[in-house]
Structure 1
Amino acid sequence: MARGVYIHIPFCHQICNYCDFNKVFFKNQPVDEYIEALGKEMKMAVERKPEAFTNVETVFLGGGTPTALSAKQITRLLELIRTYIPMKNVVEFSSEANPDELSEEKLKALLDGGVNRLSMGVQSFDQDLLKKIGRTHSNAHVYETIALAKKVGFTNISIDLMYGLPHQTMEQWKETLKQAFALELPHYSAYSLIVEPKTIFYIQYAKGRLALPTEDLEADMYDVLMKEMEAHDLAQYEISNFAKPGFASIHNKIYWDNDEYAGFGAGAHGYVDRVRYSNHGPIKKYIEAVESGHLPIIHEHEVTPLEQLEEQMFLGLRKVDGVEAPAFEQKFHETIWEKYRTVIEELTCKGLLESDENGIRLTRSGRFVGNEVFQQFLLEE
């Protein structure tokens, strides 16, 4: 049963140098046709498996950039979502956004269509760094757009920040955090740069032309991040996410709890009835599949019990609360300690993990080497 719904909007007015998500330039794309295809896909999916959508709690518009759409297109998209997705239990309806694409008209279209949370890609308040990573907005865009969003009626606003960027210094990172806190928002996300294949940065890295900070500097940046968030009364609830009370992302928690969600759109992924699936990525193939009366799924994989266990651990350990013992036992009919006692004891001795009757979680030190900890929970068949 899907707790969340993810809807992918693959259009961008500018492609960022680090982005490996399914996306295309907006110009000359069949945007209106794509939006109608989304409606048809949602209709087919819900009609074929209505029981999977009876308790949807969140909807998330991602991309690409949903705010690359016009106000009229946003209104039509949200109309289709409300028509085909059961909304009675939805408590969080998020949309990603770019600071230089949000007009008052678009913000009103989002709010009137049911969106109650904005997640804005700011990344840095250093203009030179923004250019190096392929962003087109200015700091003025950020200030003006957030003020406008608040004026229109949005109270749940988050911004994304990035560290470990090419040529980024600690001074630049501290200044970005200072300006971010000045906005007095209830939620912040901060991610270290990962150089992904099929990105501009990957090509530069392969040619030795990407000057990245050292691992030590990146770790120091993360340390400063956690300290500054705590100093500003923003609780860390996941490795990269911080919030005021009541503003943690419910949709993202669905992923970290390893619960099920439906994915719609070109290149979207979903996880329903223990089956992980992905859609056609090319927009033309996606639309053709939907127009022919078929769900645009190109790949399906039934998650094995072993894979489900592993996913529960490496996703759950991203949360500051960690993997909860009661939920684990209810799902797998054995305790975490029965399954992983040896590895838990080893990691606890190293100061990377802590445990009690409520479950297991990373220590503060463990958050710096999360991926290394997660790998210890991979099991053999």
Structure 2
Amino acid sequence: MSLITDLTRMYLTHSTKPFIFTNDFDKVLPYDNGSEFGLYVHIPFCKSICNFCPYCKVIYDEETAKGYIDALIKEIHLVGRQWNGRRRATSLYFGGGTPALLADRITDIISALREHFIITDGIGIELHPDNVNVSVLKTLKSAGVDKISIGIQSFQDKYRRVLQRRKFDIKDISKALNEVHFETVSMDFIFALPTQTFGDLKNDIDMAFANGANHIAIYPLIDFTFTKNKVPAMPKKEKRKLLDDITNYCISKGYVRKSIWTFASEESASYSSMTRDNFFGFGCSATSLFKDQFKINTFSVLEYCKRIDANILPTALTNRFVKRQRMIYYLFWKLYSTRLKVKEFEEFFDIPLNKIYGLEFRLLQVLGFLTRDEEGYKMTLKGAFYYHYYENFYTLSYIDKMWGIMRKEAFPKDMRL
């Protein structure tokens, strides 16, 4: 798989140079006052570990969690006090782990962030179905959260057993959601499970929208090498038909496609912590993306807290982009939304897209992956499938390797991808 991604990277960057990460980092982060930024906060604690989940997480322990949140707030102030005044942030997302295990501390974290940032477009948080109750939802809403994403994965017992997920009562979830209103209620599902059919997914989609969701995300199962997942992969032909059928069904129902995997019943409903040009990440394993660099915090909760206690940023590795590397990173995540606005690319890089990748985008049109309109490019059904297909290579070649190393070493010397 790495051969495909290596050849793609070399062709698009016009260089054999890999993505090089080193253990040096800027003590003052390169915030560009003219750019829009998002915020991300990682809370790694879970009551149990799902066999398919690749994210940085540890079993919940009250004392450890308390110390971690104290360190997290201190990191926010270490970064935020680097500049005078409050900076504009378009969004804030909490991921994990299971952030709602510490719902009573979410207010403290948001208050710390608001000392340094003006959050303009909403605050989102991921929830386990066990946490969707009136008490937790009211606590989150009073803290300022207006978007929630519930990790359902499947409403069906047979797939919950495959994924080793506990049973929950959708009636209880629906009742809680009716009592406490949020701007976006997203529900996450996994597709391409063994023997899974379009009918199975259609039932999940219909049940989600009938029980409080106005947004859904349907992610493919990806087999990371370091997880305990033993679920066999679905053949490519079946997976493509399943993705096309899901897409066509959602479009036929009038749902708005928000990204490769997400659909909304309302135009205003949105939930994505990924499709942002620049962002600050706080907490262990959190990443930060700037115009010229990408940095990753240590995955170790213990070492993260030690660094913060010493008033040192918990950065483990930093990649300093060459310009074309930054361009392909930008294009990859912009196309995740199924749209690319040419003007936005040209404003971000101060160079015409056609001058850099005109040939490639014409070829993608000829192959039927993209169509052209006044604003830029829109992905076709065929393009969406092959984006997914290539994203699997990208994930296993880059993210799998990166996270695999970071899980073993708190502060690696370097990394080449």
Q: TM-score, normalised by structure 2?
A: 0.80
Matched ranges for 1:211-222 at <5 A: 211-222=232-243
Confirm or deny that 1:165 pairs with 2:193: yes
What SS does structure 2 have at the residue aligned with 1:56? strand
Q: Does 1:5 align with 2:22?
A: no
Q: 1:350 aligns with which of 356, 361, 367?
A: 367
1:14–1:134: 8 Å Cα contact kept in structure 2? no
For 1:97, which of 108, 112, 127 is the aligned residue?
127
**Matched residue, 2:110:** 81
What's the counterpart of residue 246 of structure 1? 268
- Asked if 1:325 corresponds to 2:342, the answer is yes
Report 1:88-167 matches (<5 A): 88-138=118-168, 140=169, 142-167=170-195
* Partner Cα separation in structure 2 for residue 91 and residue 13 of structure 1: 31
Structure 2 counterpart of 1:267, one-letter code: S
Structure 2 distance, partners of 1:179, 1:77, is 29
Is the 1:269–1:276 contact (alpha carbons within 8 Å) kept by the matching residues of 2? yes
The CA distance in 2 between the partners of 1:118 and 1:226, in whole Å, is 23
- Map of 2:295 onto structure 1: 277
Q: Aligned partners of 1:95, 1:372: CA distance in 2, in Å? A: 28
Letter in 2 for 1:323: L
Question: Is the CA contact 1:325–1:357 (under 8 Å) kept in the aligned structure 2?
Answer: no
AA paired with 1:77?
I
Percent pairwise identity = 24
Q: Does 1:316 align with 2:334?
A: yes
Q: Structure 1 residues 88 and 332 mapped into 2: Cα distance closer, same or farther (>3 Å)?
A: closer
Tell me what 2:96 maps to. Answer: 63
Quote the offset at 1:239 in angstroms: 0.5
The 8 Å contact of residues 100 and 137 in structure 1, kept in 2 or not, is answered as no
CA distance in 1, matches of 2:308, 2:81: 14
The amino acid across from 1:213 in the alignment is M
* Unmatched segments (≥5 aa) in structure 2: 1-31, 394-417
Instruction: Give the Å deviation of 1:340.
Output: 1.7
Shift of 1:348: 1.4
1:290 aligns with 2:305: no
Q: CA 1:173–1:357 in structure 2 vs 1: closer, same or farther (change >3 Å)?
A: closer
Deviation, structure 1 residue 373 = 7.2
Q: What is the one-letter code of the residue matched to 1:334?
A: I
Distance 1:350 1:80 in 2: 47
2:214 matches 1:195: no
Runs of 4+ in 1 over 4 A off after TM superposition: 371-375
CA contact (8 A) 1:164 1:193 kept: yes
Q: Residues 177 and 198 from structure 1, CA distance in 2 versus in 1: closer, same or farther, beyond 3 angstroms?
A: same
| Separation of aligned partners in 2, 1:302 and 1:50 | 25
CA distance in 1, matches of 2:224, 2:232: 15
Moved more, 288-297 or 99-108: 99-108
Amino acid corresponding to residue 118 of structure 1 in structure 2: I
Match of 2:23 in 1: none
Instruction: Return the match for 1:363 from 359, 374, 380.
Output: 380
Gaps of 5+ in 1: 205-209, 376-381
Contact 1:99–1:137 (CA under 8 A) maintained in structure 2: no
Highest relative contact order (Cα 8 Å, sep 6+), 1 or 2? 2
- Quote the offset at 1:268 in angstroms: 0.9
